[in-house]
Structures are given as structure tokens and as C-alpha cells.
Amino acid sequence: MAKMKKLSRKTSKQPKGAVSSIKRVCFLLLLSAIWFALPQLSSARGPDVLRYGDTGDYPAVLFSHDAHMATGLNCGDCHYSIFQKRKGDADSDGEMTMKTLDEGKYCGECHNNDNVFSTKKNCDRCHVKKIIGK
């Protein structure tokens, strides 16, 4: 019976080549999954520059995702807590005004002079003709 156990152990082992082939296939599958997922992840981020319409009193607001991400923010810092993550939803109810920003809503939640520049005194930081380098 002891011989039988040894024999069964020997026959249950896979050859060295089979194990490395399985590892190679798993690695290639993982690499392929990453390769195909990357374009989806980058396109989910949205456009870099968003333009909010002219108000009549001020030029349009140009918002740069890249500039905000460069400060260390991530998507969740703004989306779903301050803004919903749907195209056109930031001002879908027409309530994103200078008054509401100055009250600390929308962009004013961060742009309040405590965290970063205030919306009250820095109009030209958001209401710009174009973003430099774009």
C-alpha cells in the first residue's frame, strides 16, 4: 500500500512544462484584459475641458479636469457628492449661479478662499477666453 501512495503522488504531479504553460496563458489573459480595459477607463473620465455657457454678464466658464486632477483631487471628490456624473447635469436645474457659488454650493464648496481661491474675488480665474496651452 505504501508503494501505491508513492505511485499516486508521482502520477498526480504535472510536468514542469505544463505548469509554465499555464502560467504563461494566465499572464497573457491578464495582459489582454488590461490592454482592452485601458481605453474604456480613460474615456470614462470625460473631456478635459468643459465649457459652461455665457451668462451675459461674464464670458463662459472653462473648466479643466486636468488642472483639478493635478492638485491631487480624484473623481469622487466632486462627482456624486457635489455634482452628479452625468453630461449636462452640473447646471441642469439652472441653480449654479454666482450667488449659489458664493453661498458655498457647487464649485463654491471648495472655491471659498479657505481651500482655494474664492469665487467672489477671482472672476477671471474661471471666466476666461481660453485655457493657456489649449
User: What does the pLDDT look like over 69-86, one tens digit per residue?
Assistant: 888 888 888 887 887 766
User: 49-86+96-126, superfamily in CATH?
Assistant: Cytochrome C3 (3.90.10.10)
Q: What is the pLDDT of residue 17?
A: 64
Q: In the chain, what are the domain boundaries?
A: 49-86+96-126
pTM for the whole thing? 0.54
- Tell me the per-residue pLDDT of 40-52, one tens digit each, with 9 for 90 and over: 555 455 567 777 7
**Which of 112, 94, 115 has its CA nearest to residue 103?**
112
**Which of 54, 50, 80 has its CA nearest to residue 67?**
50
Q: What is the pLDDT of residue 61?
A: 85
- Tell me the per-residue pLDDT of 7-52, one tens digit each, with 9 for 90 and over: 555 555 666 666 688 888 888 888 888 877 665 555 455 567 777 7
8 A C-beta contact, residue 123 and residue 58: yes
**Which of 80, 84, 81, 79 has its CA nearest to residue 65?**
79
What are phi and psi for residue 50, nearest 5 degrees?
Answer: -110, 140
How many Cβ atoms are within 10 Å of 73's Cβ, its own excluded? 13
Q: What is the pLDDT of residue 127?
A: 84
Name the one residue in this structure whose C-alpha cell is 471666466: 127
Express as a percent the part of the chain with pLDDT over 70.
Answer: 63
**Which of 71, 83, 75 has its CA nearest to residue 108?**
83
